Structures are given as structure tokens and as C-alpha cells.
Amino acid sequence: MSVFTDYKKEIMDAAHNERIRIALSRAIKHYRANINNALKKFPHTIKMAEEVREIKVKAIGEMEQLVEQACEAIEANKGKAYIAKTADDALNIIGKLVGSGKLIVKAKSMTGAEIELREYLEKQDNDVYETDLGEFIIQKLESRPMHILAPAIHVPKEDVAQVFSKITGQKLPPDVGTLVATARKLLREKYFQADIGMSGANVVAADTGALFLIENEGNIRLATGVPPVHIALVGMEKLVPTFGDACKVAEVTWRYANYTIPQYISVVSGPSSTGDIEKVITYGAHGPIEFHVIFMDAGRTELAKHPILRQALYCLRCGGCLYECPVFGVTAGHFGDKYFAGIGAVWAAMMRDNKEKAAALAYTCLTCGRCKIRCPMKIDTPEMVVELRRLIAEGA
């Protein structure tokens, strides 16, 4: 079967799947109430988003200089920094650092999903635990993420209860509190047994090499703070010039991700250190002894040259557009590849070189523009989709 036939079947099946619709309608209702509340409480975010768009537009034009600057800063902080030109380069660098037979606790990372990092590490004979609750559910269901922030958005609590009952051997009720407590119990000891913790980053300040990690669950803190080695994979579009810029990007990201304030914001810029004995700075204190950051290009610098499609690189991954998309609202991430909906078509074409999937997604998009209205970066996805259709039609 062709990619088109497979995709058509997948998306039609999803559109007729009652459970997906139930799970999504619940999630969309909660998202809208939360974001309206967050923006009402902190209305300055709307103005700040305009400022962040300017920061991103400029930063995308300077990505290559910023990545050099960030690498220097990370090395000065006694971390190790790498530039991966392609997805395969990134996997090779990480593969060499990790080796095989390791226990890895992993935070959610769209960039990791983009290059199928978990699957790669598992093939290298490593034991990888997704620690984000949604990703953990997906891993156990052997499914795939259906939203950039809420990967298990399509899974109702009844199905989570079923899979967790199977793992624990106990009949668990479809009660959210019980299910969260079960995941905590299943994962907690893994952080302390793990050889390596892995993460992405929401934004990186080039001047200091500081990675910002936004979360609520506390799994990222543990995964990046407890194991002796922290490896971070970061798309080059996450770089901004200064620490101050990164603070603004972070605030706009979490607010449009529907939070007034996230429970945790971690800033990581090197391995743990101490100067407590005679002011002699020593690396490898209570946290990681090694800190490695891989900055991945994989099509980003090429995409930055395109006057219309470069907008995809401004994306903060807040996920807001997906809740407004009428197609996503009934099909979840089945309307997507590694990234979802209309903007996902651009990522499929440019970063994953998956033109067939990109075409299928580009022609599913209704170009209605509801995503643009919600988007803090005012990314014109309909404009990008029309341009992508043109490029595909011309065989570019």
C-alpha cells in the first residue's frame, strides 16, 4: 500500500473512533478554560509574545552563530557540546556516548521523537524509560504521541487503567489520581538506578549555554538531576541570544501551553559543581558528573532560508494551535507525522524529508487559519501549507 492509502485509512479510522473523540473533547474543553484563565490573569503575555516573535525572527537568521556561541559557553561551563548536521549524525553522537546495556530515564522531547531516538537506543540494547506520564502511557501502549505536549491526549482514562492493570497485575479503577500514583510508583526507583538521563530543551540562551526546561510533573528534574550523566538533544531553532531573551520565550511558551506558571522551571548549563572546600571549583557534586548537549541542524538552516516556510522555526511548541484545529479535534495526531496538523506538514517535508506524508498532510489541512489566531508567534500556517503544496506540485 502507498503512504497515501495507509494515511487515508488511518485518518478515516481515527475520525470514526469514538474514544478519540471523547478524550479530545474533554482535553479541548479543559485547555480552553485554562488558557483563558492564564491570559486573563497575566494579560502582559500577549504583548510579550510580540516581543518574542521579534526575538525568534532574528535568532533564526543567526542560528549558526548562536550555536557556536552556545557551544563555547557550555564548554566553558565544563559541559561538552556537539553540532550534528543531520539526524544520523545526532544518533551517532548519542550512540557513542551511551553505548549499550544502559538504563536510561528520558524526558519528553519532540526533537528526540523527530529522529526516533528511543527506538534507536533500544535497538542498541539499552533499557529506556519514558518518564513523562503521557509518553510512558504511549510507550506501554506501543502507540505513538498524538500531541506535542500531551502525547496521550487520545487515550481516555479507562484505557490507561487497562494498561496499568496489566503492568501491575492489579485491577485498577479508571480514576486519574490512582493512575498517576501508579505511574509514580512504577518509575520513581528508575531515576536512582539509571546510568543516563536524557532531555531536550524548551529554549537555550546562547550567551550562557543555559538550557531551560519547563514542566509540571517533576520527572525532568529527576531525569536530568539524579543520574550521573545528562545528555540533551536540542534543535538549533531553540537558540536565542541572551538569558533574558530565553526567560521571555519560556514565559510565553508556558502561558500559551495553558499554564499560569509551571510547577518547575529548570535551568541547566553544565555538570554539577561545588566550590565549598577552599573555593576550589570541582565538577561532579550531587548532580550529573557529565553534561553533553547535541545541537541538531537536520534541515533547519536550509529551512531558515525559505522566506515563507521559515516561520515553522518560530514555533515554541506550546501546542495551542492543535486545540483549535478542526481536523485535529476529531483525529488527534493521526493528522500528523512526528509533528502535527498543518505545521506538521512543513516539518515532515523539510526536516524528515518525508514528501509523501507531507503532501498527505498538506492536502488534509483546511487552511482555515484558526491556528494562526491562537498562535503566540502568529505563524501563518495556511500560507505555509499553500506554499508547500506549490513546492510539492512542482516536484521541488
CB of 374 to ligand SF4, least distance (A): 5
CB of 217 to ligand SF4, least distance (A): 20
Binding site for ligand SF4 (CB under 6 A): 256, 315-321, 343, 374-377, 379
CB of 311 to ligand SF4, least distance (A): 9
Our CB check for ligand SF4 shows the closer of 196 and 315 to be 315
CB of 385 to ligand SF4, least distance (A): 12
> In the chain, what's the furthest Cα-to-Cα distance?
68
CB of 14 to ligand SF4, least distance (A): 20
d(CA 228, CA 272): 10
The Cα angle at residue 292 between residues 291 and 295, in degrees rounded to 5? 145
Our CB check for ligand SF4 shows the closer of 310 and 317 to be 317
The C-alpha cell that represents 162 in the structure block: 487497562
Q: For residue 327, give the amino acid letter.
A: V
The C-alpha cell that represents 153 in the structure block: 491526549
Q: Could you write out the DSSP letters of every residue in 30-66? A: HHHHHHHHHHHH-THHHHHHHHHHHHHHHHHHTHHHH
d(CA 214, CA 229): 20
Cβ count near 355 (within 10 Å): 18
Identify the three-state secondary structure at position 234.
strand
CB of 378 to ligand SF4, least distance (A): 8
Our CB check for ligand SF4 shows the closer of 234 and 377 to be 377
CB of 66 to ligand SF4, least distance (A): 19
The C-alpha cell that represents 205 in the structure block: 540562551
Per residue, what are the HEC states of 13-25?
HHHCCHHHHHHHH
Our CB check for ligand SF4 shows the closer of 137 and 379 to be 379
Our CB check for ligand SF4 shows the closer of 120 and 339 to be 339
d(CA 90, CA 82): 9
The C-alpha cell that represents 160 in the structure block: 490507561
Our CB check for ligand SF4 shows the closer of 281 and 373 to be 373
d(CA 337, CA 65): 30
Q: Which of 82, 52, 39 is nearest to 246 (CA)?
A: 52
Our CB check for ligand SF4 shows the closer of 52 and 66 to be 52
Q: For residue 185, give the amino acid letter.
A: K
Pick left, alpha or beta for residue 46 (phi over 0 → left; psi -120 to 50 → alpha; otherwise beta). Answer: alpha
Our CB check for ligand SF4 shows the closer of 79 and 342 to be 342
Our CB check for ligand SF4 shows the closer of 209 and 319 to be 319
| DSSP symbol at 229 | E
CB of 256 to ligand SF4, least distance (A): 6
CB of 341 to ligand SF4, least distance (A): 8
